[in-house]
Structure 1
Amino acid sequence: MDLTAVPVTKVDGVGEKRAEDLAQLGITTVADLLEHYPYRYEDYRLVSPAEAVHEEKATFRGRIQGSPSVRWYGKKKSRMSARLDVDGVIVQVVWFNQTFLKNKLKPGQSLIVSGKWDAHRLQLTADRTFVSEAEQQKQAGRLEPVYSVTGSLSVSWMRKTIYQAFVQYGREIKEVLPEYLLQKYKLIERPKAMYFLHFPKGREEGRQARRRMVYEEFFLYELRLLKHRLETKEKGKGTPKNFDRQKVNDFIDQLPFPLTGAQRRVVDEILGDMEAAGQMNRLLQGDVGSGKTVVAAIALYANYLAGHQGALMVPTEILAEQHARSIRQLLEPTGLQVALVIGSLTARERREALGQVQMGLVDVVIGTHALIQDGVVFHDLGLVITDEQHRFGVKQRGMLREKGRAPDVLHMTATPIPRTMAITAFGDMDVSTIDELPAGRQPIETHWVKTDLWPRVIRFIQKECRKGRQAYVICPLIEESEKVDLQNAQDVFEELTVELAPLRVGLLHGKMSPTEKEEVMRLFAENEVQILVSTTVVEVGVNVPNATVMVVYDADRFGLAQLHQLRGRVGRGQHASTCILVADPKSETGIERMRVMTETTDGFEIARRDLELRGPGDFFGVKQSGMPDFKVGDLVEDYHVLEVARADAAECLASPGFLDHESYAGLRRFLDSQISNGSNLD
């Protein structure tokens, strides 16, 4: 029996109304219900008063000494107390608004009580009481599951219903992992592991169950990912690109700067993919300032030599315009024609640009998500590049790819990704990493100061600008907000305009028109404006080598990855640079972010710490990245299991017996069910 095809209403006690509430939790089948795991457990293991932790939950067994006393507050509120002998220690037990227990609590009565423990007063405030011998036998030492619920559902109903599902369908739970993997890692069987995750008798039973299910979850995900990747490559639907490698090398040699060893390595990997029969699907990651744009330009040039058009999609118009300038400087001397397609073009400009693209008069098109609109038709799209790819949804990236006949695809990101994240979110891609900064990049000193030192920060900006340098001042809001007390760009702009006169101060934010933004950035790039007050629109891609100061106001309100991106806007020229984080963090997380930023400038280390602080869902945004929402596994805690599971999945797929041997039958059933359920990774 396939439990993924059995409606949840087949479980006794689940009617139509309950089924509607369960559906809100994503539970529509018996399989979904059995895999709705607890997010924590109530611990009813018995302890002595000496073992109990002050102000934490404790469970005692003892005997009532004397009769309980009750005090009433008004007509409905009450406080009942009784003395309980627990292993020779007299504990005062207090119950609020539970006088229905009074007649059950007799002198000498055996009792199990659970609640918050006050070690100083030897007092337990009870929230659960087990009076009868049967209740005590059932509850003593148990870990009771606590579930996410919604609507009319209660935790106790969910607990009872999941137990009922095991009673009715537990025997239908099939093993999916090959026996040799169970033996290799000493994993318990799947039916037992699933039951123990819900109803463990003790910590060790729960630990073994979780260990098994974490491995299975990661293994099956990686198996599916790798199978998809193999099938894509086997289809060989990509077109090999024939280009003259010597011409590409000559282009590289005439660049105004030498490539780093890391850049040369990733260029070779990308060009090799483009020459192969399969469709390239590669992620290029590198820290801020590592030189990804020139790598993209080389790939676009090779694609042009092979007779195809290329497209570069970026998340913002400012970045699109900047890329257009830099790509034109690099490529137009070779004869390429570069077009810019963004939402702010006039109707006439857009019509002319799209006409040239469709006729093949343009070789490289750079733009925002405007590139994926219906009116954009390519003559022969052979290479698709997305920059800061995690800012586009999975479907958006796919829409651009579909505008060509199986074009090669290169995703770029300046948000360094920890290895566990890369092999999970992008497991169906090859990953290239630029892990070396260009020669001459100056180190960036980072300081965290409290807001009361703001006058000193202003003096420092003034001092640097008088040397001929420039500064960014980043604020989290555009205008004053009554709801949130954060420094806003408009106020800071007005303050600095007065404080720093005669130095010129500019203002940049997302609500400005593209023409206004372009003008402000031009003035800043040409040093006609010395201080740029901005929101995070400068986070990605803006390049002004003369800027040496980055000030971030209310810095604790930004994520680590965002702070690192902002810091990367300076240190791009020959002068030493400084990043100043101005913040009075109120939370441990905010304080930790400030510590991390002042301790390291390594983007990959920052990404690892960011993953620890925020968790995988928030690191990229589950919906935007296609990141799986694992039910049991945790990418931070269980990263080593993920790597082992991936290696095992690859070994299984490569096994000669995978397609027909009985030991792999469970895995084949799993993959077949994914296809029949319409699950895909595109």
Structure 2
Amino acid sequence: MSTDLHTLPVRSVKGVSLAKAKELEELGIDSVARLLEYFPFRYEDYRIRDLADVKDGEKVTIEGKLYSEPSVQMYGRSKSRMTCKVFADPLMIQTVWFNRHFLKDRLRPGAQLLLTGKWDSRRLQLTVAECEFPGGSSSRSGTLQPVYSITGALAQRWMRKTIQQALVQFGALVAEALPKQLVDKYGFMPRKQAVYRIHHPDDVEEGKQARKRLVYEELFYFQLKLHAFRAIQRQKEDGVAHEFNNEDVRQFVRALPFKLTDSQKKVIAEILHDLKEPYCMNRLLQGDVGAGKTVVAAAALFATVKAGCQGALMVPTEILAEQHKRSLEKLFEPYGMTIGLLTGSLTDRQRRDVIASLHMGLIDVVVGTHALIQDDVLFRKLGLVVTDEQHRFGVNQRSILRRKGMNPDVLTMTATPIPRTLAITAFGDLDVSTLRELPKGRKPIKTYAVGHDKLERVIGFIRNEVSTGRQAYVICPLIEESEKLDVQNAIDVHAQMSHAFPEFRVGLLHGRMTAQEKDEVMRLFKENQVQVLVSTTVIEVGVDVPNATVMVIYDAVRFGLSQLHQLRGRVGRGEHQSHCILIADPKNETAKERMRVMTETNDGFEIARRDLELRGPGDFFGTKQSGLPEFKLADMMSDFEIMEMARDDAAELVAQPDFWTSAEMLPLREFLQREHILDGERLD
């Protein structure tokens, strides 16, 4: 693209006043280039159609001849209803006009009209929204008119006119943005033509072709950044090349109290290979609930410590941090390795001791929450950063922890399986490892969706399970009663369950409790001193109680699919058959579909795919934390095939030596320079 258009202020377009320029700036439009690239999100169809092909209630544009004098009924001073007969070959139809009585004098029998409105096929009646007299200077008939996303005082008509003016003035300066080999490979229309036609397509197909070309370009540039960045990082070799003996890691694995799955062995091998390389590892480890990601991270941390470096494991909650610390201590203590814990609930003295030990190298691996990223937390030699449930941390939090070492290796983990659509888009600069298998002996969790009217049967089912020595979770969306939301809350449900099970001990866990209180409740539950645990979603991640076999979720429609799957994963961790009961009275089709998906499959990857379809990518991780790119035109779901094309092409180009030297590729290298990719700045 010509940089001239990027530097030309939007006021260069005729008709854009200073006031209008300020309004455009609020939409992010400050240059001619940005105005031309402000693409429509849909089109209004003003093409003339035969009424025989129009469905009842559909919007349509027709051509007709006025047959009768208009009849006007006034309501008050300004409101009116005007009717007249129009002959739209071969039909005689009734037309209704609201508050358009000022047109009465122009509507003479025999006049030709272009009418756009809503068609009522039973009454043979058109409710007119817009009227044109053929030959007018601003006729829209027979066209697809672009519709733009606008705010404030900007009007569609003005936006259309202004973008058209920009195309007339500056359209000839629109430069090709793709290498000729890619334009030829896919038979794309030239960029100049595509920019014009996306604003003014002659027909639907032409609009699709223009959009496809521009979507590819947008995704190609996105993928080019990712692949160029990875290539530069690997050339720099400024990471930590960990020196450890593979046999030490093999002995560590053999000493584990369980056998690793083939999937775990493969992923550990991939990570160990990365650790030994001189460039920074940047790997995403994704796996279904209970697939054994923690032991993979433990093997990576073990190898890091054996190589003389420190490791850090950042997790989203204190409960999970404490659980991971205990797990790692059991695994690492036989080898003389020390594990530290750093959370917000430590006393000032405890915190100072941990920070001093880290700085002196007396702690080999530290497990913590966001407390790890405070300014005064310093390491002697940080070699590996592991973030668990990485989508719960913002981009800035992850990068702060990483900068506490000299380019340490990075392993990010998630138990929310990420569909390939998002993995390629959001994490295109990462190598992705996937744990597909579950440990041997795991039985699929049986899942049921029931209405609130079946609550007595649910309580009876819990009683039967707990009477045999098992335990149960009961999950609620809220801590206390809310006037706004008619949903069960944890405090009320705890009272209800305590009354229903006087012979058992019922515990309560929620986010407002202190870390010590939460820890005590979880300790009692793990030791089976509490049989039924009523909780909010604080137990969603990581808590491991193999004896728990029942998961009851109140108001399940209030949770997304992936969150329901995470909660369900708290059971099914032992030898006994486990059950998940979703209490829900779905009021809409989306909620019904979520319940149906949960009862049909236990496959987290399939659930993640369906969740993405139902909720969209913005909500999949949480819009603010996701780090997902915002595309002008591309859509990650519908344009996934184009995304894959763009990814493959970008990877192939970057791998060619000519890319970095040839004159033809200079515009792409200049783009990377503007984006600071050639400076080696890390992508987050």
Task: Describe the shift of the 1:677–1:99 C-alpha distance in structure 2 as closer, same or farther (beyond 3 A).
Answer: farther
Match of 1:131 in 2: 133
> Are the equivalent residues in 2 in contact too, given 1:381–1:405 (CA < 8 A)?
yes
> Are the equivalent residues in 1 in contact too, given 2:554–2:583 (CA < 8 A)?
yes
Match of 1:187 in 2: 188
Partner deviation per Cα, 1:431-476 (whole Å, 9 max, x = no partner): 1111111101111011111111111111111111111111111111
Match of 2:275 in 1: 274
Residues 535-574 of structure 1 aligned to structure 2 (within 5 Å): 535-574=536-575
Q: Which residue, 26, 47, 50 being the options, matches 1:48?
A: 50
Match of 1:289 in 2: 290
> Are the equivalent residues in 2 in contact too, given 1:177–1:664 (CA < 8 A)?
no
- 3-state SS of 1:453 partner: helix
Match of 1:577 in 2: 578
Structure 1 position 609, deviation (Å): 0.9
Partner deviation per Cα, 1:183-216 (whole Å, 9 max, x = no partner): 2211111111112112212101101111111111
Q: Which residue, 72, 75, 99 being the options, matches 2:74?
A: 72
Partner deviation per Cα, 1:588-616 (whole Å, 9 max, x = no partner): 21111111111111111111111111112
For residues 304 and 219 of structure 2, the distance between their equivalents in structure 1, rounded to whole angstroms, comes to 37
Task: Describe the shift of the 1:668–1:135 C-alpha distance in structure 2 as closer, same or farther (beyond 3 A).
Answer: same
Residues 183-582 of structure 1 aligned to structure 2 (within 5 Å): 183-582=184-583
Q: Which amino acid aligns with 1:383?
A: L
For residues 18 and 141 of structure 2, the distance between their equivalents in structure 1, rounded to whole angstroms, comes to 35
For residues 263 and 297 of structure 2, the distance between their equivalents in structure 1, rounded to whole angstroms, comes to 14
Match of 2:141 in 1: 140
Structure 1 position 24, deviation (Å): 2.1
Higher mean alpha-carbon deviation, 65-74 vs 407-416, is at 65-74
Match of 1:89 in 2: 91
For residues 342 and 221 of structure 1, the distance between their equivalents in structure 2, rounded to whole angstroms, comes to 37
> Are the equivalent residues in 2 in contact too, given 1:241–1:276 (CA < 8 A)?
yes
For residues 666 and 533 of structure 1, the distance between their equivalents in structure 2, rounded to whole angstroms, comes to 60
> Are the equivalent residues in 1 in contact too, given 2:231–2:654 (CA < 8 A)?
no
- 3-state SS of 2:69 partner: strand
Structure 1 position 666, deviation (Å): 3.5
Q: What value does the CA root-mean-square deviation take over the aligned residues?
A: 1.6
Structure 1 position 531, deviation (Å): 1.0
Q: Which amino acid aligns with 1:127?
A: A
Q: Which amino acid aligns with 1:450?
A: G
> Are the equivalent residues in 2 in contact too, given 1:357–1:379 (CA < 8 A)?
yes
For residues 209 and 502 of structure 1, the distance between their equivalents in structure 2, rounded to whole angstroms, comes to 70
For residues 629 and 587 of structure 1, the distance between their equivalents in structure 2, rounded to whole angstroms, comes to 29
Partner deviation per Cα, 1:490-512 (whole Å, 9 max, x = no partner): 11111111012211111111111
> Are the equivalent residues in 2 in contact too, given 1:141–1:202 (CA < 8 A)?
no
Q: Which amino acid aligns with 1:59?
A: T
Q: TM-score, normalised by structure 1?
A: 0.98
> Are the equivalent residues in 2 in contact too, given 1:290–1:434 (CA < 8 A)?
yes
Q: Which amino acid aligns with 1:45?
A: R
Q: Which amino acid aligns with 1:80?
A: M
Structure 1 position 680, deviation (Å): 6.7
Match of 2:120 in 1: 118
Partner deviation per Cα, 1:63-99 (whole Å, 9 max, x = no partner): 1111111111122211111111112111211111111
- 3-state SS of 1:139 partner: coil
Q: Which runs of 5+ in 2 are unaligned?
A: none
Structure 1 position 155, deviation (Å): 1.8
> Are the equivalent residues in 1 in contact too, given 2:618–2:626 (CA < 8 A)?
no
For residues 623 and 584 of structure 2, the distance between their equivalents in structure 1, rounded to whole angstroms, comes to 29
For residues 410 and 251 of structure 1, the distance between their equivalents in structure 2, rounded to whole angstroms, comes to 20
Task: Describe the shift of the 1:635–1:447 C-alpha distance in structure 2 as closer, same or farther (beyond 3 A).
Answer: same
Structure 1 position 676, deviation (Å): 9.5
For residues 415 and 480 of structure 1, the distance between their equivalents in structure 2, rounded to whole angstroms, comes to 29
Residues 1:661 and 2:662 are matched in the alignment: yes
Q: Which residue, 96, 99, 102 being the options, matches 1:100?
A: 102
Higher mean alpha-carbon deviation, 364-373 vs 617-626, is at 617-626
Number of corresponding residues: 681
Partner deviation per Cα, 1:132-174 (whole Å, 9 max, x = no partner): 42358x4222111111112221222221111122122211211
> Are the equivalent residues in 2 in contact too, given 1:104–1:131 (CA < 8 A)?
no
Structure 1 position 554, deviation (Å): 1.0
Match of 1:57 in 2: 59
Q: Which amino acid aligns with 1:638?
A: D
Structure 1 position 677, deviation (Å): 12
Structure 1 position 328, deviation (Å): 1.2
- 3-state SS of 1:116 partner: strand
Partner deviation per Cα, 1:504-545 (whole Å, 9 max, x = no partner): 111111111111111111111111111111111111111111
Higher mean alpha-carbon deviation, 294-303 vs 160-169, is at 160-169
- 3-state SS of 1:653 partner: helix
For residues 17 and 319 of structure 1, the distance between their equivalents in structure 2, rounded to whole angstroms, comes to 54
Task: Describe the shift of the 1:53–1:663 C-alpha distance in structure 2 as closer, same or farther (beyond 3 A).
Answer: farther
For residues 427 and 465 of structure 1, the distance between their equivalents in structure 2, rounded to whole angstroms, comes to 46
> Are the equivalent residues in 1 in contact too, given 2:144–2:201 (CA < 8 A)?
yes
> Are the equivalent residues in 1 in contact too, given 2:229–2:678 (CA < 8 A)?
no
Task: Describe the shift of the 1:622–1:219 C-alpha distance in structure 2 as closer, same or farther (beyond 3 A).
Answer: farther
For residues 666 and 187 of structure 1, the distance between their equivalents in structure 2, rounded to whole angstroms, comes to 19
| Identity rate, percent | 57
For residues 378 and 508 of structure 2, the distance between their equivalents in structure 1, rounded to whole angstroms, comes to 37
> Are the equivalent residues in 1 in contact too, given 2:234–2:280 (CA < 8 A)?
yes
- 3-state SS of 1:149 partner: coil
> Are the equivalent residues in 2 in contact too, given 1:260–1:438 (CA < 8 A)?
yes
Task: Describe the shift of the 1:322–1:680 C-alpha distance in structure 2 as closer, same or farther (beyond 3 A).
Answer: closer
- 3-state SS of 2:362 partner: coil
For residues 172 and 524 of structure 1, the distance between their equivalents in structure 2, rounded to whole angstroms, comes to 70
- 3-state SS of 1:624 partner: coil
Match of 1:27 in 2: 29
> Are the equivalent residues in 2 in contact too, given 1:310–1:363 (CA < 8 A)?
yes
Q: TM-score, normalised by structure 2?
A: 0.97
Task: Describe the shift of the 1:677–1:357 C-alpha distance in structure 2 as closer, same or farther (beyond 3 A).
Answer: closer
- 3-state SS of 2:146 partner: strand
Task: Describe the shift of the 1:241–1:232 C-alpha distance in structure 2 as closer, same or farther (beyond 3 A).
Answer: same
